[in-house]
């Protein structure tokens, strides 16, 4: 026994001198210092692993454990150190010594000239211990543990009785079990886990095994630890990160997928940044060797939006090469993957859209939402895809909740996509069953229908009355901003509910909107409401009493091609005016003055003409695609309001689509404008005038 004691002390002395003092630092925790702790911090990190075979002993720990936190973290409690049972190692052999960085003190591992060998951890127990019977613990898998256990502590209880190698099985099983729990139950179970006496032991074993366990087990361990809520600034997490960095060349295709997932779940820090850079280098080298589509998509999803463009394109080319092997799920997932990588591959999106549409029936709501949200993030518009999804939802309308349909309509509104059939069905359902309406849904529905300028003649009035009645019932608890949003939507629709409008026009409500929240946005909407109350046919004789801040005037837009075409058509610039600013902050690109039949253009220089009663003012608006609903000539809400108000100001509005005019030659552009400006009856005489100008 004296020889064994001497051998132990010699090994302890050798280990204590192998780590320089200057490189060891531990976070200050505010823990109670155990009276029997050695003053040298290095000794607290040493593992006793060179015992005589089958020797049973119990000693006092020389360190607090690897689950070490920075000071100030209040999520965990500490206890005085006590006598704990030492794990006996049959033979813990490792060819590499464990390095220590300047931030965390790491646990050293025994070495041997024989290289890496399998490690089996056993548990010293009472006289009834298995070692006294000459048996070894039965290996366990995380699947078996997760099936047999119902809580995190159940796993730790099994571990404390007979710990086995590797520790990743226990950690993975705990995370698998936690995934099955509700949020509240998960939070409670995690607190029990952190207070369980075996959890520190499991963390210590994980550090000891970090350099000898298989690389995928090491990754599984870190993934489970992070998901279980162990803080990232702990010695355990940072140690595993460093080992993963050192052994990154052992990363195969499966490990690429796991590592990508881990990095996405972790907060930025130095070790994470270095590891992410290493992952990108590794992916760049191995991208053409990746065989599984799932692995490829996982790497693409989590590699980061700031990935170099060259690597993004290489991953895109690899995905295009694998298109023939894409399953339906792969095609559905590709939208989310590209959005996460912030890479807009139109070719890849188009091909995946076709497969999604071919297999749209039975597609879960969550997948549809994910596809549309990803299209929004990528600014990708595919009319066939949107129409296919809307047709499917309209066909199976009865199986969907109204809340789900509203969510889809909100996403469609972001694209300016107006599906008449689906919107009519939704409107009809609201009329039949208004009990669905709450404050949030009222504001959202009004926003969608006003933004897309959608009306259904057969039930439009009844729908608006139901929406107004529902809004009136919410006035006692509605916020000023929600009230403004709802009233602004009603004004765009040209409907003015009495009680809500009266509440909005109160001075205290207006003052609140002008002094809190998104003031610029509030001012813009208040101007819209004020203009509608003044120009539309409403029962209100007054508008907003309070003076609103002045909005900036729209900047003039260059329209050189249209100016040249109008000059050729009308006979000179004296027959039209450019960049006209009107009351209520409205702007028109060109104004033309004609007779009431729109058969003759009048000169601006003729003073008598300006006072004539038989004059028609014509507003020519050069508009982009964005003022219309997607792939249609149906004007969207605010632009429809502008057209309505220009009519109220006495203008005949002519819309010139810029993208259509830009494709035409000058002669064709002149002919196009002629058909727009002159009335059908006046076209023959206009043709004669046009021929005389050439």
Extract the tokens encoding 64: 């607090």
Report if residue 9 sits inside a domain.
no
User: Is 253 part of any domain?
Assistant: no
Q: Which helix (H) or strand (E) holds 85?
A: strand 83-85
Tens of pLDDT, residue by residue over 128-169, are: 343 334 445 566 787 888 888 999 999 999 999 888 888 899
Mean pLDDT of 640-652: 93
Q: How far apart are CA 535 and CA 524, in angstroms?
A: 17
pLDDT at 204: 93
Of the three residues 430, 460, 490, the one that is the final residue of a domain is: 430
Of the two residues 632 and 4, the one the predictor is more confident about is 632
Residue (of 636, 635, 593, 596) closest to 618 by Cα position = 593
Q: Does residue 124 contact residue 163 with C-beta atoms inside 8 Å?
A: no
CA atoms of 634 and 657, how far apart (whole Å): 13
- 443/598: higher pLDDT: 443
**Is residue 420 a part of any domain in this protein?**
yes
Single out the residue of 183, 258, 182, 196 nearest to residue 65, CA to CA: 196
Q: Minimum mean pLDDT among 23-37, 200-214, 231-245, 565-579: which range?
A: 23-37
The Cα–Cα gap between 120 and 136 comes to 9
pLDDT digits (tens, 9 = 90+) for 610-620: 555 678 899 99
The count of residues in the chain is 694
How far lies 237's CA from each of 443, 478, 529, 568, in Å?
Answer: 46, 47, 56, 75
Q: Are residues 399 and 446 in the same domain?
A: no
Query: Is the model's pTM score more than 0.85?
Result: no
Domain that holds residue 530: 437-552
The tens digit of pLDDT for each residue in 379-408 reads 999 999 999 999 999 999 999 999 999 999
**SS3 sequence of 337-405:** HHHHHCCCCHHHHHHHHHHHHHCCCCCCHHHHHHHHHHHHHHCCCCHHHHHHHHHHHHHCHHHCCHHHH
Between 500 and 556, where is the model more confident? Answer: 500
If asked whether residues 451 and 480 sit together in one domain, one would say yes
Q: What is the mean pLDDT of residues 233-260?
A: 92
Nearest to 335 by CA among 321, 351, 313, 358: 351
- Among 381, 396, 430, residue at a domain's last position: 430
Report residue 588: phi and psi, to 5°.
-125, 150
Q: Given CA atoms 622, 628, 632, 633 in this order, what sign does their dihedral have? A: negative
Distance CA 21, CA 23 (A): 5
Mean pLDDT across the stretch 632-637?
Answer: 92
Q: Quick one: average pLDDT of 616-642?
A: 92
- Residues 451, 542 within the same domain: yes
The confidence score (pLDDT) of residue 538 equals 76
In degrees, to the nearest 5, what angle opens at C-alpha 508 toward C-alphas 504 and 514?
80
Q: Are residues 477 and 522 in the same domain?
A: yes
Decide if pLDDT at 546 tops 80: no
**Placement of tokens 């064994």 in the chain:** 4
Q: Count the neighbouring beta carbons within 10 Å of the beta carbon of residue 539.
A: 8
Which pLDDT does position 683 carry in this prediction? 57
pLDDT band at 461 (very low <50, low <70, confident <90, very high): confident
CB atoms under 10 Å from CB of 533, counted, come to: 20
Contacts 24+ apart (CB under 8 A), 367-370: 367/332, 368/393, 368/408, 369/407, 369/408, 369/411, 370/332, 370/335, 370/336
Whether residue 644 sits in one domain with residue 570: yes
Q: Is residue 241 part of a domain?
A: no
Distance CA 672, CA 658 (A): 12
- For residue 185, pLDDT over 90 is answered with yes
Per-residue confidence at 471, pLDDT binned at 50, 70, 90? very high
Range of lowest pLDDT (10-24, 190-204, 620-634): 10-24
Domain final residue, candidates 528, 552, 576: 552
What confidence tier does 645 reach under pLDDT thresholds 50, 70, 90?
A: very high
Mean pLDDT confidence for 69-84: 36
- Specify whether 362 is located in the same domain as 445: no
Task: Specify the pLDDT at position 127.
Answer: 38
Residue 233 pLDDT exceeds 50: yes
269-279 burial: b if 16+ Cβ within 10 Å, else e: eebbeebbebb
State residue 96's pLDDT score.
36
pLDDT tens figures, 649-691: 999 999 999 888 888 888 888 888 888 888 776 555 555 454 4
| 338 within a domain of the structure (yes/no) | yes
Q: Chain-wide mean pLDDT for the chain?
A: 79
The pLDDT-based confidence of 338 (bands split at 50, 70, 90) is very high
Same domain for 443 and 546, yes or no, is yes
Task: Give the confidence band of 540 by pLDDT, cuts at 50, 70, 90.
Answer: low
Whether omega for the bond prior to residue 461 falls within 30 degrees of 0, making it cis, is no
Looking at the structure, do residues 443 and 506 belong to the same domain, yes or no?
Answer: yes
What pLDDT is attached to residue 65? Answer: 43
Do 546 and 572 lie in a common domain? no
Report the percent of the chain where pLDDT is more than 90: 54
Separation of alpha carbons 304 and 321, rounded Å: 22
Distance separating alpha carbons of residues 467 and 15, to the nearest angstrom: 77
Tell me whether residue 294 is in a domain: no
In a domain, 595, yes or no: yes
Pairing of strands 576-582, 121-123: unpaired
Do 669 and 588 lie in one domain? The reply is yes
Residues 584 and 664 in one domain: yes
Residue 467, Cβ neighbours under 10 Å: how many?
25
What pLDDT is attached to residue 456?
A: 60
Residue 19 covered by a domain: no
Predicted confidence at residue 513, as pLDDT, reads 92
Model confidence at 542, pLDDT cuts 50, 70, 90, reads: low
CB 207 within 8 A of CB 168: no
Q: How far is CA 469 from the centre of its chain?
A: 35
pLDDT tens profile 478-504: 999 999 999 999 999 999 999 999 999
567 and 673 belong to one structural domain = yes
Task: Count up the domains in the chain and report the number.
Answer: 3
Whether pLDDT at 237 is above 70: yes
**507 vs 537: which has the higher pLDDT:** 507
CA distance 566 to 592: 10
- Asked if the model's pLDDT at residue 48 lies above 50, the reply is no
Smallest Cα–Cα separation from 295: which of 258, 332, 326, 264? Answer: 258
Average pLDDT over residues 455-472: 83
Give the contacts of 202 (CB within 8 A, at least 6 positions apart). 156, 159, 163, 167, 170, 171
* Least confident piece of the model among 43-47, 238-242, 405-409: 43-47
Q: 72 or 659: whose pLDDT is higher?
A: 659
pLDDT value at 49 more than 60: no
Average pLDDT over residues 302-320: 94
């Amino acid at each position: 026994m004296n020889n064994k004691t001497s051998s132990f002390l010699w090994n302890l002395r050798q280990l204590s001198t192998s780590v320089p003092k200057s490189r060891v630092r531990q976070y200050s925790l505010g823990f109670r210092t155990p009276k029997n702790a050695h003053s040298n911090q290095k000794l607290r990190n040493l593992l006793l692993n060179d015992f005589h075979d089958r020797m049973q002993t119990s000693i006092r720990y020389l360190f607090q454990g690897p689950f070490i936190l920075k000071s100030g973290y209040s999520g965990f409690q500490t206890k005085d150190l006590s006598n704990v049972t030492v794990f006996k190692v049959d033979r813990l052999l490792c060819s590499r010594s464990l390095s220590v960085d300047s931030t965390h003190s790491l646990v050293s591992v025994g070495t041997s000239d024989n290289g890496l060998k399998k490690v089996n951890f056993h548990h010293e127990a009472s006289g009834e211990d298995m070692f006294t019977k000459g048996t070894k613990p039965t290996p366990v898998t995380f699947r078996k543990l997760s099936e047999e256990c119902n809580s995190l502590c159940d796993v730790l209880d099994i571990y404390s009785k007979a710990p086995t190698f590797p520790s990743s099985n226990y950690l993975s099983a705990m995370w698998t079990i936690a995934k099955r729990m509700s949020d509240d139950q998960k939070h409670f179970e995690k607190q029990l886990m952190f207070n369980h006496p075996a959890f520190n032991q499991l963390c210590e074993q994980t550090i000891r095994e970090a350099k000898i366990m298989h690389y995928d087990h090491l990754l599984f361990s870190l993934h489970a630890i992070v998901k279980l809520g162990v803080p990232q600034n702990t010695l355990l997490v940072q140690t595993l990160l460093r080992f993963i960095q050192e052994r990154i060349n052992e990363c195969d295709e499966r490990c690429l997928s796991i590592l990508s997932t881990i990095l996405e779940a972790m907060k930025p820090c130095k070790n994470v940044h270095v590891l992410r850079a290493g992952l990108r280098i590794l992916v760049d080298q191995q991208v053409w060797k990746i065989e599984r589509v799932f692995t490829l998509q996982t790497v693409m999803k989590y590699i980061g939006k700031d990935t170099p463009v060259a690597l993004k394109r290489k991953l895109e080319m690899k995905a295009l090469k694998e298109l023939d092997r894409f399953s339906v799920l792969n095609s559905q997932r590709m939208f989310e993957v590209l959005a996460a990588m912030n890479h807009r591959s139109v070719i890849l999106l188009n091909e995946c859209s076709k497969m999604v549409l071919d297999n749209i029936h039975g597609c879960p709501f969550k997948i549809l939402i994910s596809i549309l949200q990803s299209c929004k993030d990528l600014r990708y518009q595919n009319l066939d895809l949107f129409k296919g999804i809307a047709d499917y939802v309209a066909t199976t309308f009865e199986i969907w909740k109204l809340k789900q349909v509203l969510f889809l309509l909100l996403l469609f509104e972001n694209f300016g996509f107006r599906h008449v059939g689906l919107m009519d069905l939704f409107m009809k359902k609201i009329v039949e069953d208004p009990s669905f309406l709450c404050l949030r849904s009222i504001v959202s529905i009004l926003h969608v229908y006003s933004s897309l300028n959608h009306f259904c003649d057969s039930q439009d009035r009844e729908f608006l009355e139901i929406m107004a009645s529902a809004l009136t019932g919410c006035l006692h608890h509605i916020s000023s901003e929600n009230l403004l949003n709802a009233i602004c939507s009603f004004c765009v629709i040209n409907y003015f509910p009495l009680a809500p409008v009266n509440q909005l026009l109160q001075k205290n409500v207006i003052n609140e909107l002008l002094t809190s929240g998104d003031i610029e946005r509030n001012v813009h909407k208040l101007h819209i409401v004020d203009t509608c109350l003044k120009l539309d046919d409403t029962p209100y004789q007054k508008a907003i009493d309070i003076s609103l801040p002045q909005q900036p005037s729209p900047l003039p837009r260059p329209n050189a091609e249209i100016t040249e075409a109008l000059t050729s058509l009308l006979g000179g610039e004296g027959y039209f005016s450019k960049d006209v600013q009107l009351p209520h902050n409205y702007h028109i690109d060109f104004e033309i003055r004609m007779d009431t039949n729109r058969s003759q253009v009048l000169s601006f220089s003729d003073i008598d003409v300006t006072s004539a009663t038989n004059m028609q003012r014509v507003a020519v608006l050069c508009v982009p695609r964005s003022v219309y609903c997607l792939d249609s000539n149906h004007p969207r809400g605010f632009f429809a309001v502008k057209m309505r108000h220009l009519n109220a100001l006495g203008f005949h509005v002519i819309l010139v689509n810029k993208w259509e005019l830009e494709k035409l030659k000058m002669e064709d552009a002149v002919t196009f404008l002629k058909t727009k400006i002159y009335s059908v009856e006046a076209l023959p005489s206009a043709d004669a005038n046009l021929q005389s100008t050439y």
